[in-house]
Structure 1
Amino acid sequence: MSLFGHAEALTKHWKDCSDISFETLKQWERRCIEAGMKSKTEKLVPLVAESRLKEWLQTQSPFISIVQEELSQLTGRIATPHFFIMADREGIVIHVEGRPKILRDIRHYGVQEGTSFSLEHAGINGISASMQTHSLFVVQGFEHTLQMFRDWSCICMPIYQDNEIVAYLDLTLRTGSNLCFPVALLEKAVHVIEAKWQASNPQSRRTQIYADFEQFGLTAREKEVAYGWLHNQSALQMSTVMNITEGTVRNLLKKVYVKTKVSDKGQFMRKFLA
């Protein structure tokens, strides 16, 4: 059964073109015209040359793997014609997911890795509108600049890491489909991708933990000790790395326990690694 078969009357909490001022929409249209955009364009031209596409995608491979894992599960459960587009923060496609026939069809229009969906290269669409508003955005039918997209509805949501947008995920389906459940589905997919990416990215995880420490007023030294303690470093190991005495490390750790209101390592680990 299609996941889109349900008709739950969920509250609209996304943005669409009706939420954008007339002046802003005109500004978007002017940018399209100035960039040479024509509504009758029949095929998008990739920005990334084929000769360097493989190398470019390789730099994105860890993130693409996480996206593929999540989207492959969703694609197999959705009966309604659809496809997913993952674009980087510049709007350049890094992955397309869907059933083989649809992927063949949309490739005919240039919807493929290396193609840009920014305002200047693909006009008003789900990805470009999400890029402009930094929000969950829906573009339907004739709201698209390009005629070739006017049989589709595009739902796009930014993907964040460390409070910065790192990518955009678009779910495109036939115009006329009920959007409430697809929006909820897309939101869930984005949240799962964000969580998996953070868990697989040590630097991102460190940034998040340090932000949690900040809420308890830990000093720079206390954060360093607290982070090492979370990762099972001994007081002796930390003293060597930080070039301070083992006793100083233990005193800092006591202060960390007081400030974070825990009494043992188990409580400490559960508080910050749960």
Structure 2
Amino acid sequence: MDFNTYIKQSKKRCEEEYRLEPTEIPTLQIELTEAEMEERKQTFEHALPVIQHFMEKVLYYMDGTPIIVATTDEEGYVIHKFGDESMMEMIHAFGIHNGVRFREKVAGTNSISLSLLHDESIGLVGKDHYHEALHGIACYSAPFHYGEDGRISGTISIMTTVEYESQFHLGLLSSAVDSIERELRLQEKNNKLEILNQIMINSTPIGMIMTDQEGRITDYNAALEKLVEYSMKERLAKGDTKTYVIKPYVDHVLWTGEKLENKEVTLSFDDGEREKIFQLDVLPIYDGDEVIGAFAQLRDMTNYYELQEKLIESEKLSTLGKFSAGLAHEIRNPLTSIIGLTQLLKETNAQNKYLEIITSELDRMKNLVNQFVLLGKPSSVQPAPCNLHDLLEETIELMKSSARLQDVSITFESNQKDLVMTIDEAKIKQAFINFIKNAFESMENGGEVQVRLVHHPGSNKVEVTIEDEGEGMDPDEVSNIGTLFYTSKENGLGMGLSISLEIIKAHHGTVDFNSEKGRGTKVELCFPV
């Protein structure tokens, strides 16, 4: 349907349905309160600056032509207008202000109402208007769509006098509205991406920093403030925008354009009384071939390093225990024989006094040796509630550094993350470490160790399996597992598994070894829940 048909139908409605007099001057009334007007403006908060920007360009190309630009919402309410002052006075005479509503039954045939009705760009020149008072003006309106639903959001209109009317005005307006819609859609996508980006950045425990070309902080996330324990907002407000301890790394990246990864950085707190260790990555930000800034991220590794130190300390104590227990075993037997012989000599030898001294000193040595023996035995169990999944996960994390050194990969699977058991956490952890370490050492050329935690609903038992791809064992070797001082290792003392089995036994658990020479070993630990 063409414009002429739209105009004829509108004029017919004005005459027959609305009973409007064409000789009367149409006067529009403001139908919105200030609060209602402000609410509608808020809906166009992001759109109006874009509309103004593009329509000012239109006015620039139409320099010398008196034009008014008006924006309405989907109901025809005027939200915003700007343009030529003389034209502004004229439309005010017709009662056209922000807040008035263009309705056909009041304003007669007009481009805004027709554009909203037919969702098309419409132009009315002179006598196309129903009221004679408007025959001196040319009005052009184009609908625009602002939102995902595709519905009309309102219209953008230009108004001038008939002397400046041009057939190109409607095309120019339609082209401008297309550009406005594209810009609004792009801004909407960017806003969504920005929201998603902020959600991702602020939900991670990793501290993030953005800098400009000079190394000044331009943005950061909430996790960073938590890690460094001070308010970045306050520092930036004071103009304190340097990156401090990471500045040398940031400067290097800005200067060379090369990324830095896994750098260790230490920050001091409480006047040097406390330290945190971070792992730092710094990446350059490019605009084409030019470095325009840097992106840095900090990961708190303090707990990781503390756990590593505990593991090292645990291994040292374990080594000491093995040494002392082995030493005690080797010394205690000959000591017993010597003591027995001195007792026999005392019955016949005249110098009983010296033999008594020897016996006394040997008894003292035996007592010392017996104390060494205690170092190699598991102490009494001290049970407490413990999440078995978390304990296994922590133990595996501790063992990963050893795994890497031995070219071993370790995986963990669990079907129960909230399984709380009453166990001696330290003892069970010691046993897990020993079983996993044995799995590592069974694979001279590397391989994979799989750790699984399985608890079936309704079952009163939980199973932990540790499976390797090592050399495996023959039936004789399996039968000797747990025999004190029995070992297949060249430098082993044969005590680690014995201690671990005692720990499991003390927790009323069982251990099964499924192994085949050349096929690896699977250790199955079963605990009552």
Instruction: Tell me which interval the TM-score lies in, with the shorter structure as reference length.
Output: 0.5 to 0.7
Q: Secondary structure at the match of 2:152?
A: strand
The reply to whether residue 184 of structure 1 matches residue 156 of structure 2 is no
**Residues 136, 156 of structure 1: 8 Å contact kept:** yes
The reply to whether residue 94 of structure 1 matches residue 79 of structure 2 is yes
The reply to whether residue 167 of structure 1 matches residue 151 of structure 2 is no
TM-score by length of 2: 0.33
Correspondence for 1:30 among 16, 26, 36: 16
- CA distance in structure 1 between the aligned counterparts of 2:101 and 2:21, rounded to whole angstroms: 13
Task: Rate the CA distance shift 1:15–1:171 in 2: closer, same or farther, 3 A.
Answer: farther
**Residues 15, 135 of structure 1: 8 Å contact kept:** no
The reply to whether residue 110 of structure 1 matches residue 95 of structure 2 is yes
**Residues 141, 158 of structure 2: 8 Å contact kept:** yes
Residue 179 (structure 1) shift:
2.6
**Residues 10, 109 of structure 2: 8 Å contact kept:** no
Equivalent residue letter for 2:101? S
**Residues 88, 166 of structure 1: 8 Å contact kept:** yes
The aligned counterpart of 1:140 is 125
The reply to whether residue 69 of structure 1 matches residue 53 of structure 2 is yes
Q: Secondary structure at the match of 2:50?
A: helix
TM-score by length of 1: 0.61
Task: Rate the CA distance shift 1:31–1:95 in 2: closer, same or farther, 3 A.
Answer: farther
Task: Rate the CA distance shift 1:80–1:26 in 2: closer, same or farther, 3 A.
Answer: same
The aligned counterpart of 2:30 is 46
**Structure 1 unmatched runs, 5+:** 1-13, 207-227, 238-274
Over residues 68-89 of structure 1, what are the superposed CA-to-partner deviations in whole Å (9 max), with x where a residue is unaligned? 1222232233211221121111
**Structure 2 unmatched runs, 5+:** 205-529
Length, aligned pairs only: 198
* Bigger-Rg structure (1/2): 2
Task: Rate the CA distance shift 1:21–1:46 in 2: closer, same or farther, 3 A.
Answer: closer
Residue 31 (structure 1) shift:
4.0
**Residues 153, 173 of structure 1: 8 Å contact kept:** yes
**Residues 7, 109 of structure 2: 8 Å contact kept:** no
**Structure with a larger share of its residues in strand:** 2
Task: Rate the CA distance shift 1:95–1:108 in 2: closer, same or farther, 3 A.
Answer: same
Residue 95 (structure 1) shift:
1.2
**Structure with a larger share of its residues in helix:** 1
**Residues 160, 194 of structure 1: 8 Å contact kept:** yes
Task: Rate the CA distance shift 1:111–1:22 in 2: closer, same or farther, 3 A.
Answer: closer
- CA distance in structure 1 between the aligned counterparts of 2:163 and 2:174, rounded to whole angstroms: 20
Equivalent residue letter for 1:164? R
The aligned counterpart of 1:121 is 106
**Residues 28, 124 of structure 1: 8 Å contact kept:** yes
**Residues 37, 120 of structure 1: 8 Å contact kept:** no
Task: Rate the CA distance shift 1:174–1:21 in 2: closer, same or farther, 3 A.
Answer: closer
**Residues 15, 137 of structure 1: 8 Å contact kept:** no
- CA distance in structure 1 between the aligned counterparts of 2:9 and 2:135, rounded to whole angstroms: 23
**Residues 89, 168 of structure 1: 8 Å contact kept:** yes
Q: Secondary structure at the match of 1:47?
A: coil
- CA distance in structure 2 between the aligned counterparts of 1:38 and 1:181, rounded to whole angstroms: 28
- Identity percentage over the alignment? 20
- CA distance in structure 1 between the aligned counterparts of 2:10 and 2:95, rounded to whole angstroms: 28
Correspondence for 1:82 among 67, 75, 98: 67
- CA distance in structure 2 between the aligned counterparts of 1:192 and 1:133, rounded to whole angstroms: 21
Over residues 220-247 of structure 1, what are the superposed CA-to-partner deviations in whole Å (9 max), with x where a residue is unaligned? xxxxxxxx8x99x79xx9xxxxxxxxxx
Equivalent residue letter for 1:89? E
Equivalent residue letter for 1:153? A
- CA distance in structure 2 between the aligned counterparts of 1:205 and 1:171, rounded to whole angstroms: 32
- CA distance in structure 2 between the aligned counterparts of 1:26 and 1:166, rounded to whole angstroms: 27
User: Comparing both chains, which one has the higher relative contact order based on Cα–Cα distances under 8 Å and sequence gaps of 6 or more?
Assistant: 1
Task: Rate the CA distance shift 1:204–1:102 in 2: closer, same or farther, 3 A.
Answer: same
The aligned counterpart of 2:375 is none
* RMSD (Å) for aligned C-alpha atoms: 3.4
